[in-house]
Amino acid sequence: MSEAYIVEALRTAGGRARKGGLIGMHPADLGATVLNALVERTGIDPGAVEDVLVGCVTQGGEQAFAFGRNLVLASKLPDSVPAVTIDRQCGSSQQALHFAAQAVMSGTQDIVIAAGCESMTRVPMGSNYQLHSQAGFGIGPWPQSIQDRYGVADFSQFHGAQAIANKYGFTREAMDQYALASHVKAAAAIDSGAFKGEIVPVQTPEGVFDTDDGVRRGGTLTSLGEVKSLEEGGTITAANASQMTDGASGALVVSEAALKRFDLTPLARIVNLTVTAGDPVIMLEEPIPATRKALDRAGMTLDQIDLFEVNEAFASIPMAWLKALGADPEKLNVNGGAIALGHPLGASGTKLMATLIHALKTRGGRYGLQTMCEGGGVANVTIIERL
């Protein structure tokens, strides 16, 4: 089987939903900014791109009607370039990367862009089905057959995150400490210029936006402890959960033949692509068995991985992952995670990949592993080798 290589991985800075620097951007224009940057920075012929795979969770409103295709039409790519939109919940653009790599590894295509975009300001989370319900159309995503099978009326990520915290015995203080550390690491990364190579500046109506604006500096355990829990008597709060964020990201994936044809220098080689699924009620624990399966299929051990990116949907998720696998916390989310930098849903997959690749380069690491929990009890794992 042929190899698949990542020759560039980029993201926009994260803008706080409803309050941040990207609220004035139509999501198609926001995503197009990343597509343009991938082509410009690699110098590849834009007409040579064979497909654009775009992750997006809330496909409604400004993110409806062939959203991936609209990114292409809003970009400098020729309209001969096709596109498709992918929904694997929070892992949508990580799955886009998997599909892109699989197309290249199979020999079907040589040059594919995997991307993601989500404006949680302009298309609020859940609005694609909540508005239907409010208008009296249908009963929602879960028919009675599913409700009866799993004994629930719906599936809640908040309930899942709390269930995991309870299962692993994480206290409110421990999760707040984890959250505070995420902000500290993210602030340090911004101050040191660690994100410079991965961030695409965005020209907004208010000016150029190029710095993650959700990072809270000067926070304390006391201030985090004052935030109300999401559930009565619970320990999950907005302070130890990911921030709702606007953003876009993408990666250019190519074959060895394309490397030679366009004189491209690869940043990383795809080592393993894994996706698994499990309990949809606890929902967010699946990165643990998915990581075990990915390492087994790659013939690797956790000690061989230099850096981990585990999405901080809630503090309990990476904490459970660390505890269950016995991983080194010093290798985890070294530049902060979604608690500080935000979680723009469909964009988070290739966002984390951009951060992982650039962090490996800065630190001289060789192997990186990325995983995230996803709605429905699914998880993707990607292992890469920095070149």
Task: List active site positions.
Answer: 90, 343, 373
Distances (CA, A) of 142 to 15, 146, 259: 32, 6, 45
Q: Which residues pair with 55 in a beta bridge?
A: 86, 116
Place of tokens 């230099």: 306
Residue-by-residue DSSP string for 248-287: EEEEEEE-HHHHHHTT---SEEEEEEEEEE--TTT-TTTH
Query: What residues have CB less than 8 Å from 232, skipping those under 6 apart?
Result: none
Distance CA 82, CA 175 (A): 43
**Alpha-helical segments (H) within the chain:** 27-42, 67-74, 92-105, 127-134, 144-150, 157-168, 172-192, 221-225, 256-261, 287-298, 316-325, 338-341, 348-363
Residue-by-residue DSSP string for 94-122: HHHHHHHHHHHHTTS-SEEEEEEEEETTT
